[in-house]
């Protein structure tokens, strides 16, 4: 069996067309986009074409799209600059956000003396919208930023983003959503969804690493966090990574051109995996809402096996020896011995958990192979 890559929530393989787009750019578009000569103007024109393409697909304006190094930078820009520039005095988030949000919020709260509140979640990790409304509607509430992710990167829970946006609009709160796991996987119409900020990272939808974007609604103004030049309309200094931007735009366009068929295919892989787990490992426990097809993303499964001792300790290592790549949590936590804050928050860390995440490059045969390896090991 050739190696099986089931860690697509961490990063995805590049589409061949994306590799071609990047290579052609590296060969042909080396001009600095800030230069006024023809080489620079050519690069600049392609960047703006990519910006317009992404914006149009999202139902946004080109002027609302800012290129960044990825989702972490975009999250940090929003949280830090909202405190500095928008008089935000309170941040409401959840205990199961990505650390790009949680750590940024904790740091900013300490630096600026801002209130930091964690909204309640239920035992499967879903945000308690009644609790959120109570917090937003409290008397004399300060200027508030709500930061809640659309798709949880570890357990796959889907947020009712339309409802949260509606609550934020009613109570005049700013709404930021870490959408790194959902951009490229779900349709968006930002002209109808009153969210102020979302972000994307190309490597989550078969694009290159080191490039992403921030959507910032046109009625919001933040000052630059990175200074030193006038790039990105003066919002983010630094020479633009032309080849990465063009690679991201190609991956983004292909993701949405093929979304319906590819979503159905990836969902079929998840369905088969869950059915196989339920049949072969009836004592396995699905974490969060990942086995709820209506309220979780179609791309990942997170589950735990009630095993202890060496079998528990060596489970991930055994899968790696068999050529199977999966994870115990977010890739950003690799090297950490603290375990998953997401699983701790929902009391799901008693036994070893594994996250399997799927993409268009996976097959039914790979799913069956992984199930066979698991049953051999756990028998």
Residue with tokens 């600026």: 112
End-to-end CA distance of the chain: 21
Give the active site residue among 168, 199, 290, 332.
Answer: 332
Token pair in block for residue 320 = 């790696």
Q: Using CA atoms, how far apart are residues 326 and 334, in angstroms rounded to an integer?
A: 12
> Does residue 331 come out as left (phi exceeding 0), alpha (psi in the -120 to 50 range) or beta?
alpha
Q: Which SS3 state, helix, strand or coil, does residue 59 take?
A: coil
Token pair in block for residue 366 = 């790979």
Task: Give me the phi and psi of 181, to 5 degrees please.
Answer: -85, -5
Token pair in block for residue 122 = 């239920």
- For residue 46, the tally of other CB atoms under 10 A from its CB is 20
DSSP string, 101-149: HHHHHHHHHHHHT-EEEE--B-TTS-B-HHHHHHHHHSTTPPPEEEE--
Task: Give me the phi and psi of 226, to 5 degrees please.
Answer: -110, 115
Answer whether 114's CB lies under 8 Å from 83's CB.
yes
Active-site residue flag, 168: no
Q: What is the DSSP letter of 69?
A: S
Radius of gyration of the CA atoms of the chain, in A: 21
Q: Which of 195, 192, 241 is nearest to 33 (CA)?
A: 241
| Backbone CA torsion sign across 193, 195, 197, 203 | negative
Task: Give the residue numbers annotated as catalytic, written as ranges.
Answer: 332
């Amino acid at each position: 069996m050739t190696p099986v890559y089931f860690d697509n929530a961490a990063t995805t393989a590049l589409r061949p067309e994306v590799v071609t787009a990047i290579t052609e750019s590296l060969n042909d578009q080396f001009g600095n986009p800030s230069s006024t000569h023809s080489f620079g103007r050519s690069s600049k024109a392609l960047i703006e074409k990519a910006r317009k393409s992404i914006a149009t697909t999202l139902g946004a304006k080109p002027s609302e799209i800012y290129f960044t190094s990825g989702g972490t930078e975009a999250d940090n820009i929003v949280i830090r600059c909202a405190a500095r520039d928008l008089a935000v005095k309170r941040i409401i988030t959840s205990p199961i956000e990505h650390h790009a949000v949680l750590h940024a919020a904790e740091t900013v709260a300490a630096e600026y003396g801002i209130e930091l509140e964690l909204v309640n979640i239920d035992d499967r990790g879903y945000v308690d919208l009644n609790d959120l409304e109570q917090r937003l509607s409290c008397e004399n509430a300060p200027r508030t930023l709500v930061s809640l992710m659309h798709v949880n990167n570890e357990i796959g829970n889907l947020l009712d983003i339309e409802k949260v946006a509606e609550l934020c609009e009613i109570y005049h709160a700013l709404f930021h959503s870490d959408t790194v796991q959902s951009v490229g996987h779900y349709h968006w119409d930002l002209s109808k969804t009153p969210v102020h900020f979302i972000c994307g990272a190309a490597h989550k939808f078969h694009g290159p690493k080191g490039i992403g974007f921030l959507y910032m609604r046109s009625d919001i103004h933040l000052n630059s966090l990175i200074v030193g030049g006038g790039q990105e309309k003066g919002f983010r200094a630094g020479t633009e990574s032309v080849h990465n931007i063009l690679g991201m735009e190609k991956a983004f366009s292909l993701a949405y051109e093929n979304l319906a068929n590819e979503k159905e295919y990836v969902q079929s892989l998840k369905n088969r995996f869950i059915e196989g787990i339920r049949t072969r490992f009836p004592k396995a426990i699905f974490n969060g809402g990942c086995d709820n097809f209506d309220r979780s993303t179609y791309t990942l499964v997170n589950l735990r096996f009630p095993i202890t001792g060496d079998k528990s300790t060596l489970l991930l290592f055994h899968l790696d020896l068999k050529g199977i790549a999966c994870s115990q949590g977010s890739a950003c936590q690799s090297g950490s011995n603290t375990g998953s804050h997401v699983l701790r928050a929902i009391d799901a860390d008693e036994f070893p958990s594994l996250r399997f995440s799927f993409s268009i490059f996976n097959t039914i045969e790979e799913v069956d192979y992984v199930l066979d390896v698991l049953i051999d090991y756990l028998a």
